[in-house]
Amino acid sequence: MSELPLTRRDFQRLAGLRAKEAGNLARNRCEEGAYYLAGYAVECALKACIAKKTKRHDFPKKEYVDKVYTHKLKDLFGLADLDKQLEDDMKKNHALAENWLVVKDWNESKRYVTAGLQGKALYEAITAENGLLPWIKQRW
């Protein structure tokens, strides 16, 4: 895989890789690492959706590019134009809504937490049949 800039396909691969790693950690009771990597799986999946929107020969505005480099999942849903769709789908799919409640507060600063994170729960919320990753993958 290339260094920056990353492609849509790179982000798709990274989402799968981070989810797989999170699953391995969760199964081995490494909750904090599982939590951290599961969140990054969602982040990478959303960035794949954002990359899909990018036209090949367009040069994006700096303000937009700066926003895309965030780790905030709620912001990334908006940048991917998926926030309204997620909101609508959660009204019809209670399992998706429950999974979003587990995922929504993830942030990259959790890498400094040494105890108390629910990595297995986050992993399950992103990979379940009505999890965030399957939902995002339908749109990337």
Q: Do 46 and 18 contact (CB within 8 A), yes or no?
A: no
Q: Quick check: bond before 5 cis, omega within 30? A: yes
Nearest-5° angle of CA 126, CA 63, CA 81? Answer: 35
The predicted pLDDT at position 77 comes to: 97
Task: Parse the chain into domains and list their residue ranges.
Answer: 8-137
The predicted pLDDT at position 3 comes to: 65
The predicted pLDDT at position 62 comes to: 82
Distance CA 120, CA 28 (A): 10
Which regions of the chain are under pLDDT 70?
1-4
pLDDT tens per residue, range 40-55: 999 999 999 999 988 7
The one-character DSSP state at 107 is: -
Within its chain, how far is the Cα of 72 from the centroid? 9
Side-chain-side CA neighbours of residue 17 (13 Å): 8
The secondary structure element, H or E, covering residue 2 is none
